[in-house]
Structure 1
Amino acid sequence: MELLNEIAHISGKSGLFRVLKPTRTGVIVETLDALKQKSVVSGQTRISVLKDISLYLDDHQDSTLPLGDLFQLIHSVCQGSLNIEPKKASDAELFGLLASIVPNYDSDRVYASDIKKILSWYLILVTNTPDMFQTAPAAEEPKAEKVVKAPKAAKEVKEATEEKAAKAPKKAKATK
């Protein structure tokens, strides 16, 4: 979920934004929708990067679940579509859905508005960045193949070099 490092929520604006680059007075952001509108956000505006957000858990006072892990859990349960519409759902439906995904969330510190934001963000990410939810082991398999092939290729090069050396005619040394 490294992609969450560059995706942010801007206070006072709906939706999610991709942080493109900093400027002298703020940052340039791009909407995470089909329009891809770019704008400059001033340094005084509150920008929350999704990588830094987490969900409170009931296990321990300081126990939290990072938002990236929560999105993966939601995706494993819901597979990209939610049974409810976050903005129109009742509080009971929101808490019920979250309890089915993360049974040990802290019900005293997590509010219905938080769940609405999280589920809305999840739907935006599934729609606009579906590659984020691809399984990690499939992406790592090609790396493992390269590691396996590299020593074999090096061994073949060494053997070929030795064969060339053995077949090459030896030069006679001239004596004076």
Structure 2
Amino acid sequence: MEFKDIATVSGKPGLYKVLKPSRSGVILESLDEKKGKLVVGAAQRVSLLSEISIYTLTEEGASPLQDIMIKIEKEFKGDTGLEGADKEEYQAFMKHILPEFDEDRVYASDVKKLINWYHIVRSECPEVLEEPEATEESESKEEKE
């Protein structure tokens, strides 16, 4: 599975695997133990995780969610220690992971959602948290030989 195959549905908790488009929308499968299927129509907002970014104070203005999740995986290996954390702890965690994040536009609830999504992705499809540069480098080396 790739990062572009994982979606979130506005108003629904959790993450979903994109299965295929249908006439009225898209068919999704929940990334939890139940693996329930869901048909989402045009009235509901579906966002692919590959299209989500977090606001930063850099020139680009945002950092892709996948890059942030890879940083979290690299540093914490699944143990963020934020169960039952308060607003200040979430903000401090975000400052540690992404020092240039925009504190005025990224709320503690956003960071909490990021952590929840990270745990879901890590348990259901950990391969998307591997750094893409490593595979690209090995492919280019093979092409040269």
The answer to whether TM tops 0.5 is yes
Output the TM-score relative to the length of structure 2.
0.89
Q: CA deviation at 1:27?
A: 0.8
2:63 counterpart SS class: strand
Q: CA deviation at 1:59?
A: 2.5
- Name the CA distance, whole Å, in 2 between partners of 1:133 and 1:5: 12
What are the equivalent positions in structure 2 for 1:66-85 lying under 5 Å apart?
66-85=64-83
- Aligned match of 2:19: 20
Which of the two has greater helix per residue?
1
1:4 aligned to 2:11?
no
What are the equivalent positions in structure 2 for 1:49-60 lying under 5 Å apart?
49-60=48-59
- Aligned match of 2:141: 144
What are the equivalent positions in structure 2 for 1:7-156 lying under 5 Å apart?
7-60=6-59, 63-85=61-83, 88-136=84-132, 138-140=134-136, 141=138, 144-145=141-142, 148=145
Percent identity of paired positions between Structure 1 and Structure 2? 38
Output the TM-score relative to the length of structure 1.
0.74
2:2 counterpart SS class: helix
Cα deviations across residues 105-163 of structure 1 (Å, max 9, x unaligned)? 11111111111111110110011111112344553436634652xxxxxxxxxxxxxxx
Residue type matched to 1:12 in 2?
A: G
- Name the CA distance, whole Å, in 1 between partners of 2:58 and 2:22: 41
Which ranges of 4 or more aligned residues in structure 1 deviate by more than 4 Å? none
Distance verdict in 2 for CA 1:12–1:137, change over 3 Å: closer
- Name the CA distance, whole Å, in 1 between partners of 2:91 and 2:118: 16
Paired residues of 2:16 and 2:30 also in contact (CA < 8 A): yes
- Name the CA distance, whole Å, in 2 between partners of 1:74 and 1:134: 11
- Which is further off, 117-126 or 32-41? 32-41
RMSD: 1.9
- Name the CA distance, whole Å, in 1 between partners of 2:18 and 2:48: 9
- Name the CA distance, whole Å, in 2 between partners of 1:57 and 1:91: 19
- Name the CA distance, whole Å, in 1 between partners of 2:39 and 2:129: 29
- Name the CA distance, whole Å, in 2 between partners of 1:125 and 1:44: 26
Paired residues of 1:81 and 1:123 also in contact (CA < 8 A): no
- Aligned match of 1:173: none
The count of aligned residue pairs is 144
